Amino acid sequence: MAKILVVAPTPFFSDRGAHIRILEESLALEKLGHQVTIATYHIGKDISDKIDTQIDVRRVRRLLFWYKKLEAGPDWQKVLLDIMLIRKVFNLARTQKPDIIHSHLHEGVLIGWIVQKVLFWRKIKLVSDFQGSLTKEMVSHGYLHGELKRIFSRIERIIDRMGDFAVASSWEGTEAIEKIRTDGKIETASDGINSDSFNIRKTKEEIRKELELPSDKFIIGYTGGLVANKGISYLFNAIISILEKRKDVYFLLGGFPANEAEKFIAENNLQDFARLASPLDYFKLPEFLSACDLAIDPKDSGVAQASGKMLNYMAAGLPVVCFDKSNNRRFLDGAGYYASEISGKSLALAIEEALNDPGLREKGKINKERAKEFSWEKSGEKIDKIYKNLISENNTSRAAEEIF
């Protein structure tokens, strides 16, 4: 068993992708016998209210008591929070004496690296957990232009090299970092699914009745961030295109922030053809997806992020419409419906293809079976092996020092 200090520079826990990865990885590592502490911001849900776990969540002091932003995206106040988080991680590393600092996101890696170097005599190993490109994500949110973008790109390349070992949430992310890290110490630890949570006893009809969804329409679902870099504009354009041609479909959207989706539904008078659930509780996600017939992932490859939502779609036995990129092909193989180009129009054509395919349900069954290959347990075992190798390196180094 190792002591693991997880650095989460985010309002953990919120019902979105990065947080789900942090939580599920930590739970998988806890099951393998590791003692896990998570250092995070002052806000976020208390996970002990939802699940039985011994994971210790430690928060920075509530000096920025007015900061309540839970959604993804840059904010200058995060600089202050990250400075506070450096202090929190330093104190935890000094008192708990962890074997490994496991840092999520580029900000977390920088924080972990600083603490590792300050406490250099402790020989703490640093694992960097990347979930996409920092610079590209900031650009996708409308930040960074010109020289500032180039500066951040250079900083990102420096951070990509930090850590004794790195893991990436997507194969695309791994390929990008492999070009930067000269030590070759990078592996893909993909997002996964908790298959037990998808063992639902209720029927689709019962769930639809509980959620007051139409029983006579084909329901198409989306879950995740309702922001630009998740491909929401493509999704909205596709919804309009589909509803111009057929009225037997209904769109079920779950996620946050709600403002853009609410505006879209109201301005286009889609109250009879779309429903927004915001925020969508991660722990109620399986039932939400079980009410659907088809799912959409409109994220393009711009920020090199993984797509945990796709694995949840698959675990729910849903056929999936998405863009044709390597990460999606790895998940779905031949059981996906791929838009040939990055556009709302192309996404709508792929949805039509799915709606007209007599083998639609069969592809859903294939996806459910394939989802078993991508469990959080497997990612946890891969990370556990990395930990053991790093700790073994430390033990060998200490033994050599004693000899000499």
Q: How many helices (H) and strands (E) does the chain have?
A: 15, 13
Do residues 120 and 218 share a domain? no
What is the reported pTM? 0.90
Do residues 129 and 14 share a domain? yes
For residues 283-310, one letter each, b for 16 or more C-beta atoms within 10 angstroms of the residue's C-beta and e for the rest, the string is eebbbbbbbbbbbbbbbbbbbbbbbbbb
Flag whether pLDDT at 225 surpasses 60: yes
Do residues 63 and 164 share a domain? yes
Do residues 200 and 169 share a domain? no
Tokens of 136: 């590209």
Do residues 142 and 203 share a domain? no
Do residues 134 and 230 share a domain? no
CA distance 125 to 382: 16
Which of the 8 DSSP states describes residue 343? S
Q: Which residue has the tokens 């497997």?
A: 378
Do residues 276 and 387 share a domain? no
Do residues 203 and 297 share a domain? yes
Mean pLDDT of 175-193: 92
Do residues 15 and 128 share a domain? yes
For position 143, what pLDDT does the model report? 73
The tally of CA atoms less than 13 A away on the side-chain side of residue 388 is: 10
> pLDDT tens digits, residue range 111-162?
999 999 999 999 999 999 999 888 877 776 667 677 888 998 999 999 999 9
Do residues 315 and 326 share a domain? yes
For position 306, what pLDDT does the model report? 63
For position 376, what pLDDT does the model report? 93
The domain in which residue 238 lies consists of: 195-371
Do residues 247 and 388 share a domain? no
Flag whether pLDDT at 304 surpasses 60: no
For position 401, what pLDDT does the model report? 62
Tokens of 74: 């840059």
CATH number at residue 319: 3.40.50.2000
- List, in sequence order, every beta strand (DSSP E) within 189-240: 218-223
Number of domains comprising the chain: 2
Alpha helical stretches, state H, 14-145: 17-31, 77-96, 105-118, 134-140
> pLDDT tens digits, residue range 230-242?
899 999 999 999 9
Q: Which amino acid is at 128?
A: S
C-alpha distances in Å from residue 223, one per residue of 15, 156, 275, 288: 10, 29, 12, 9
Average pLDDT, the chain: 92
CA distance 13 to 336: 31
> pLDDT tens digits, residue range 47-81?
988 899 999 999 999 999 999 988 877 788 999 99
Determine the angle formed by the axes of helices 146-160 and 105-118, rounding to 10 degrees: 50
355: burial class by Cβ within 10 Å (0-12, 13-18, 19+)? buried
Mean pLDDT of 199-226: 93
For position 138, what pLDDT does the model report? 75
Do residues 288 and 393 share a domain? no
